[in-house]
Amino acid sequence: MESSNRLLASNSEPCIVDRDAADSRARVGLADPSSASTPGKETMRRIAIFALFFAVTVRVWAQQPQDDPIARNLFPPDLVMNHQNEIGLREDQRTAIRTELQKAQSKFVDLQWRLQDETEKMTMLLRQKPIDEAKVLAQSEIVMSLEREIKKTQLSLLIRIKNSLTDEQQAKLAALRGH
């Protein structure tokens, strides 16, 4: 069954779920009738479906397409670290890249904590009946601002890594990456 996946149910028992059927029901607002026994449970199920949809949408949006011209011109830290000897990375370059990574990681941790907190606040606003659209939209601005700051920090890190590499090292990394 290609469209089925093994998932853990709420009782931690493995079960097989037909993901296509579940996705179809979720798109039209229908839940699995066998799993919804009370209105409260149905509401929580819909909130969980929305939250999952939101999380997946954010992840898909955040992923870079295969032919991304920005990514094609920058080098992720793991690529540089995995090929540091092949590209002849000098000790001063290692130190500079490590320093930039540490600064960025510190900032990432702070931003991710704040993002999680603000996302939780937005989720709480979405649970209200009726939903206050103005408050949710205002909260979404805070969430998206944090997401933007994370992306800006990532881009800044990648630029600093590339600027610390020589033209020859960049050419070798591009060849190793296959671009």
Are 21 and 48 in a shared domain? Answer: yes
Are 34 and 84 in a shared domain? Answer: no
Domain range for 163: 68-179
Q: What is the average pLDDT across 4-17?
A: 38
Q: What is the average pLDDT across 73-97?
A: 92
Are 59 and 73 in a shared domain? Answer: no
Q: What is the average pLDDT across 144-149?
A: 95
Residue ending a domain, choose from 63, 91, 115:
63
- What is the pLDDT at residue 120? 96
Q: How does DSSP assign 76-125, residue by residue?
A: -HHHHHHTTTTTT--HHHHHHHHHHHHHHHHHHHHHHHHHHHHHHHHHHH
Are 89 and 38 in a shared domain? Answer: no
14 pLDDT above the threshold of 80: no
11 pLDDT above the threshold of 90: no
- Round to whole Å and give the CA distance between 125 and 64: 30
- Round to whole Å and give the CA distance between 148 and 90: 33
Output phi, psi for 62, to 5 deg. -75, -25
* Pair of tokens at residue 57: 């949408």
Residue ending a domain, choose from 17, 32, 63:
63
Instruction: Tally the domains of the chain.
Output: 2
43 — pLDDT class (breaks 50, 70, 90):
low
Q: What is the average pLDDT across 142-168?
A: 94
Tell me which of 26-40, 55-69, 114-128 is least confident: 26-40
Are 78 and 57 in a shared domain? Answer: no
Residue ending a domain, choose from 16, 41, 63:
63
Percent of the chain exceeding pLDDT 90 equals: 49
- What is the pLDDT at residue 178? 77
Are 19 and 1 in a shared domain? Answer: yes
Are 135 and 105 in a shared domain? Answer: yes
Are 73 and 48 in a shared domain? Answer: no
Are 74 and 58 in a shared domain? Answer: no
How far apart, in Å, are the Cα atoms of 175 and each of 10, 108, 158?
47, 29, 18
Are 56 and 89 in a shared domain? Answer: no
Q: What is the average pLDDT across 86-103?
A: 92
Are 178 and 148 in a shared domain? Answer: yes
Are 111 and 155 in a shared domain? Answer: yes
- What is the pLDDT at residue 71? 83
- What is the pLDDT at residue 161? 94
Paired residues of 14 in beta bridges: 8
70 — pLDDT class (breaks 50, 70, 90):
confident
